[in-house]
Amino acid sequence: MIRLLLISFFLLQLISCKSYQIDDATVKENSIQEFKNPYFDNPEIDYVYKAQIEVYGNKLGGIFVAKKISDSIHRVVFTTEFGNKLMDFELSDNDFKVNYVLEELDRKMILNTLEEDFRLLLKVNHQVNQSFENSSFNIFKSNSNHKFIYFFVNKNSNSLTKLVSATKHKEKVVFEFESKNTTFAEIIKINHKNIKLKIELNQITN
Amino acid sequence: MKIKFFTILFSFTVSIGFAQEQKMSNSEILNFKNEVTKETKNIKSLKTDFVQYKHMDFLSKDIETSGKMVFKAPNLLNWQYTKPYQYSIVFKNNKIYINDQGNKSTVDAKSKMFEKINKLIVGSVSGNMFDDNEFTITYFKTKDYNIAKLFPKTATIKKYIKEVNLFFPENESTVSQVKLIEPSGDYTKIVFKNKQVNAKIDDSAFTN
């Protein structure tokens, strides 16, 4: 019995130590040096979405707004349907400024998680450290602070359809994009793998 | 010459600004309050369409949403957005029922909190907010409107709201427009249309 437990334990260890790999992907040489995420890059556009958040089984909704307010800074606001602000941030590659946060949401863990998510979502220019491809995607890998970001660009539509933030071994956050014209994502799904947090954004048009 | 021109133009604009919004006299305030209080006492139900404009200075366009609101005295309320998405919130039996595009949830409203929200929404539409201990109120008039400006007294509300402006069309005792101004200066403006007072409303209107 103990032996079985030990074997299962080691097996489990082996499996969980497997490094993060993309299905059927092969390394591609001489690829691009920089990848540009096009979805929040236009300073002329107010990016407005209906948001649905599911956190540890609790669901809440609201309006998510993002706008590029300078070359390096995005403003991000989250309000309720009634319009009152829950959060208001400004963020760039290195800075994160909280303009406002509702007292009940002013928790370090919440703010750190959102800062990380929004930076992944909004950051435009990424250095490419390695490129891969499989039958469906061109994949660009960017190294960032002990983490790795993978951009999956669909070979047919040429649009960014998935962004994965991973450690050496496993996925941490997966972003999925649905885009009709390759520069604007109508639907964005953010799915955390290590905490029970899902965010879905659907574009609002009047 | 140019400077003089601009000075004149500027003072002209400023004086128009002042002419547009005048403080009510004490007797005008008394009259206005009496009218509104008298009318709102008779409100058994209210039904209205609304358009909501969320203004944030950094955006190039206000975010526009619209829908309808139904209220039945003493405390049934359905606030429903129909464009550009479906979202409704019903206040009933001390509970808040939310239907967010088919995702349904229920929140137990702590009675005091529930009362406050209910009172704020119903008061905003009907205009009956004058006896509230929560606000300091000042009164203005323009050619078209009587305006009540509410400034919160308590620190809790001050954190969210700097000022609430209620616009009553001249000779009307219910509100046609509400403006909720945040401490940052950004605001939410709600404009009511097709208002019906005391129309017959079935209780099924408060199921979402």
Residues 37 through 76 of chain A touching chain B, CB cutoff 8 Å: 44, 46, 48, 50, 52, 59, 61, 63, 65, 67, 69, 75
Distance of CA B104 to the CA centre of its chain: 26
Tokens of A131: 């490129």
B18-32, pLDDT tens digit by residue?
447 899 999 999 999
pLDDT at A1: 55
Q: Are A65 and B52 in contact (CB < 8 Å)? A: no
Tell me the shortest Cα–Cα distance from A154 to chain B, in angstroms: 30
pLDDT at A145: 80
pLDDT at B35: 87
Q: Per-residue pLDDT for B15 more than 50?
A: no
Q: Are B87 and A103 in contact (CB < 8 Å)? A: no
Domain that includes residue A114, residue range: 20-203
Q: Per-residue pLDDT for B119 more than 90?
A: no
Q: Are B84 and A205 in contact (CB < 8 Å)? A: yes
Q: Are B103 and A75 in contact (CB < 8 Å)? A: no
Please say whether the beta carbons of A61 and A50 come within 8 A: yes
pLDDT at A17: 57
Q: Are B180 and A83 in contact (CB < 8 Å)? A: yes
Looking at the domain assignment, is residue A144 inside a domain? yes
**Range scoring the smallest mean pLDDT among A123-132, B36-45, B49-58, B140-149:** B36-45
Give the rounded percent of residues in chain B with a pLDDT score beyond 70. Answer: 80
pLDDT at B106: 86
What residue ranges in A128-184 does DSSP mark as E strands?
130-133, 137-144, 147-154, 160-166, 171-179
One-letter amino acid identity for A137?
F
Q: For residue A141, count CB atoms less than 10 angstroms from its CB and return exposed for 0-12, middle for 13-18, buried for 19 or more.
A: buried
Looking up tokens 């540009």 gives: A36
Please say whether the beta carbons of A69 and A75 come within 8 A: yes
The domain tally of chain A equals: 1
Helices (H) and strands (E) counted in chain B, each on its own, are: 4, 12
Looking at the domain assignment, is residue A10 inside a domain? no
Among B54, B61, B105, whose Cβ lies nearest the Cβ of A59?
B105
Tell me the shortest Cα–Cα distance from B104 to chain A, in angstroms: 9
Tell me the shortest Cα–Cα distance from A179 to chain B, in angstroms: 19
Please say whether the beta carbons of A200 and A185 come within 8 A: no
- Residue B20 to residue B144: CA distance in whole angstroms: 9
pLDDT at A116: 93
- Residue B79 to residue B98: CA distance in whole angstroms: 10
Based on its alpha-carbon atoms, the radius of gyration of chain A, rounded to whole angstroms, reads 19
Q: Which CATH number goes with the domain that contains A178?
A: 2.50.20
Q: Which residue of A has its CA nearest to B56?
A: A77
Looking at the domain assignment, is residue A64 inside a domain? yes
Among B59, B87, B160, whose Cβ lies nearest the Cβ of A65?
B59
pLDDT at B13: 43
Q: Are B58 and A75 in contact (CB < 8 Å)? A: yes
Q: Are A83 and B184 in contact (CB < 8 Å)? A: no
CA B33 to each of CA B41, B74, B127, B164: distance values in angstroms, whole numbers, following the listed order: 12, 21, 10, 17
The closest alpha carbon to B67, from B200, B173, B190, B204, belongs to: B190
Tell me the shortest Cα–Cα distance from A204 to chain B, in angstroms: 6
Tell whether A99 is within 8 A of chain B (Cβ): yes
Looking at the domain assignment, is residue A13 inside a domain? no
What integer is the mean pLDDT of B142-170? Answer: 89
Looking at the domain assignment, is residue A193 inside a domain? yes
Tell whether A198 is within 8 A of chain B (Cβ): no
The closest alpha carbon to A88, from A99, A102, A96, A80, belongs to: A99
Looking at the domain assignment, is residue A41 inside a domain? yes
Tell whether A97 is within 8 A of chain B (Cβ): no
Q: Are B85 and A46 in contact (CB < 8 Å)? A: no
Looking at the domain assignment, is residue A187 inside a domain? yes
- Residue B151 to residue B158: CA distance in whole angstroms: 8
Q: In tens digits, what is the pLDDT along chain A, a chain of 206 residues?
A: 556 555 555 555 545 556 788 888 889 887 799 999 999 999 999 999 999 998 888 888 899 999 999 999 999 999 999 888 999 999 999 999 999 998 888 999 989 999 999 999 999 999 999 999 999 999 999 998 889 999 999 999 999 999 999 998 899 999 999 999 999 999 999 999 999 999 999 999 86
**pTM above threshold 0.95:** no
Domains of chain B: 23-206 (2.50.20.10)
Tell me the shortest Cα–Cα distance from A186 to chain B, in angstroms: 14
Q: Best interface-test mutation with B: which of A49, A70, A76, A85 has the largest number of B CBs within 10 A?
A: A85
Q: Per-residue pLDDT for B11 more than 70?
A: no
Local confidence band at B171 (pLDDT 50, 70, 90 cut-offs): confident
Looking at the domain assignment, is residue A4 inside a domain? no
